[in-house]
Amino acid sequence: MTENTSKSAVEIHNKIKEGSLTSVGVVQEVFQAISNTDSKLEAFTEVYKESALEAAKKIDQQIAAGEDPGPLAGVPFSIKANICSQEGETDAASQILKGFNSPYPATVVNKLIEAGGVLIGKTNMDEFGMGSSTENSSKSTTKNPWDTGCVPGGSSGGAASAASAYGYIHLGSDTGGSIRQPSSYCGVTGLKPTYGRVSRFGLLAFASSLDQIGPISRTAEECALALSIISGKDPRDSTSAEVPHENYLENLTTEIEGSTLGIPKEYFEEGIEPEVRQRIEETIDQYRALGVGIEEVSLPHTSYANPTYVLISAAEASSNLSRYDGIHYGHRSDQSVDLEQLYSNSRGEGFGPEVKRRILVGTFVLSSGYYDAFYRKAMKVRRLIRKDFEDVFKKVDAVICPTSPVPAFPLGSRLDDPLKLYLVDILTVSANLAGIPGISFPCGFTSAGLPVGTQLLGRPFEESRLLSLVHAFQSQSDHHLRRPPVLEGS
Amino acid sequence: MSIEITEALISHIATLARLGLSESEIAEIQGHFEKVLHYVEALDKLDTESVDPSIFTNDAINMLEQDSPHAPLGQELALKNGPEVDEDSFLVPRIIAEAGNEAGGGKASP
């Protein structure tokens, strides 16, 4: 690991701003780190060396001229391959979008660049966000920096793997846990904001009522910096929320005494690996020692969350992905004689197996005769799941639980049975269904040296509280400071 | 609700989804459907008769914006990713037959 890639984005930004480091130097160093290590990890699908160095040079010139290039000046960041940028391809790791060059950047990309951030590349993912291991990618299979024989989690596995190995800020998206679960597996901090907190304009849609963009970084402090920049109402996303802007970095505090955390008993009932349970219990003890009140709470509809998610996300995906028609962008079959064949051949050739499964399940549950029994039923259960959280948040400020019932699993071990892979999401999907914020942060390791993540779920728009709870923990622990073995000798 | 998942049902759904599938894919998806439908059967245990569906988590409706003109994307940018385009259109196979000919068969006419 190079000297600067071990530092935080906040520290690097301050040094660039005061002139003791240059952005060009920092960006060159991160590309060197990627070139040393990424053949082992395959976290990045594309890197933008030329445009990044050009942008970094401009930042350095602005600073030399006494100008303020913004709160992220000179700091490298990456985006998941489903977030549009005008650099390179935005293909959501799907063959159907091979070669797609977005005519416009996502709002979050614009915001980070306007704040002085330097876009260094795109990270790998499960095709269209559908997966929990980054093995459903048409590009490559990303590996876990803590054990390259294990998955990094998914679907933002590239972003989490990159945050662990190279530091700085990596944007992911979270539809059912796709920021939090890979953050947990890679030993980094990942925040899924409240639904509507961050604009989805320029995010290739998977399930529009569940998708949110959020940051993955090593620390809560860096996530706070990124969220301060990317959050806010966007006229181009009518589902973005009209709530006052917050400076999450300035609001960050270690004064968490008197807060209350609820332990949802249903999240600990079954299927949690003993070592994961142990690390979470230790984290709860640490919060107790920090003066946080702990009480048991109940989220009675927890066991219904994953089936509800499977139905709603598939239904929305089948609708969203109908835009890939072989006509407007991406892959077009040359085996077609009429329009109907053009649609079905282009889609049949372009989509991967998991995406096809979900489109078909979604089409089925929306089809005549089945809509009420499946889709409408799931939307009703969603209401009950939201209500569970509303009730609990009258008693406690946030809930604490594992991010995933298991640590990172071996590559290929869950590919034979898609349903088995869906089960690693059981602790994360509720936050998307309820639209509430969630954060995963490293809280220790298994005896095999794999990271374990704790998850906190909070009230809508209380990201500041979640970030401070994690920041206070990170001020008293060093799990987030450990660096993965893949960097040894790099 | 008990549903028999047949190959014909999967083919019908694939037609609705405009998704070309091979025979082996149909067989694989048939098995997957059975597992998924069994998995989501859990929801039947809940009485939701009097529960309102929750489509979105922000309950805001009628998001209004200023009726002010702004520059559109532009034809060139909108067309640039089209796999088959001419100077101002996306091209598709012929969908209206010429007199005496059936529709289809025409390669990429506007």
Query: Mean pLDDT throughout A197-220?
Result: 98
* Interface membership of B31 toward A (CB under 8 Å): no
On whether ipTM exceeds 0.90, the answer is: yes
pLDDT tens-place string over residues A84-109: 999 999 999 999 999 999 999 999 99
Largest CA distance in chain A: 70
- The CATH T-level fold of domain B7-45 is Histone, subunit A (1.10.20)
User: What are the chain A neighbours of B51 within 8 Å (beta carbons)?
Assistant: 380-381, 383-384
CB of A41 within 8 A of CB of A142?
yes
**pLDDT at position B107:** 46
Q: Quick one: average pLDDT of B90-100?
A: 83
Annotated catalytic residue, options A102, A155, A228, A346? A155
Q: Is the pLDDT of residue A61 over 50?
A: yes
- Annotated active-site residue A155? The verdict is yes
pLDDT at position A49 over 50: yes
pLDDT tens per residue across span A396-433: 999 999 999 999 999 999 887 887 788 888 999 999 99
Q: Cβ of B46 and A329 within 8 Å? A: no
Closest partner residue to A383 among B18, B32, B52, by Cβ? B52
Q: What is the pLDDT of residue A230?
A: 98
Per the CB < 8 A criterion, the answer to whether A455 and A197 are in contact is no
Whose CA is closest to A155, among A183, A113, A184, A125?
A125
Provide the total of helices (H) and of strands (E) in chain A, helices listed first: 16, 11
- By the 8 A CB rule, do A136 and A325 touch? no
Residue ranges per domain, chain A? 4-299+386-487
Rounded to a whole number, what is the distance in Å from the CA of A457 to chain B's nearest CA? 15
B43 to chain A: closest CA residue: A304
Architecture of the A4-299+386-487 domain: Alpha-Beta Complex (3.90)
Domain with CATH 1.10.20 in chain B: 7-45
pLDDT, average across residues A218-245: 95
What is the rounded average pLDDT of the residues A249-276?
95
Pairing, β A118-123 against β A189-192: unpaired
B19, B21, B92 member nearest A342 (Cβ) = B92
Average pLDDT over residues A473-490: 91
Strand pairing category for A76-80 and A169-174: parallel
Q: Is A394 a catalytic residue?
A: no
Per-residue pLDDT at A356 exceeds 70: yes
Q: Does A80 qualify as catalytic in the annotation? A: yes
Q: Is the peptide bond before A140 cis (omega within 30 degrees of 0)?
A: no
Length of chain B equals: 110
Share of chain A above pLDDT 90, in %: 93
Averaged pLDDT, A165-192: 98
pLDDT at B58 (0 to 100):
74
Mean pLDDT of chain A: 96
User: Does A335 lie at the interface with B, CB-CB under 8 angstroms?
Assistant: no
Mean pLDDT in residue range B65-83:
91
Buried b (16+ CB within 10 A) or exposed e, A389-411: beebbeebbbbbbbbbbbbbbeb
Q: Is it the case that residue A378 has pLDDT exceeding 80?
A: yes
Give chain A positions within 8 Å (CB) of B96: none
- The reported pLDDT for the residue numbered B103 is 52
Of A328, A353, A382, the CB nearest to B54: A382
Check pLDDT > 70 for residue B101: no
Q: Describe the crossing of helices B23-40 and A353-366 by its angle, rounded to 10 degrees.
A: 60
Instruction: Supply A115's token pair.
Output: 């704040």
CA distance B18 to chain A (A): 4
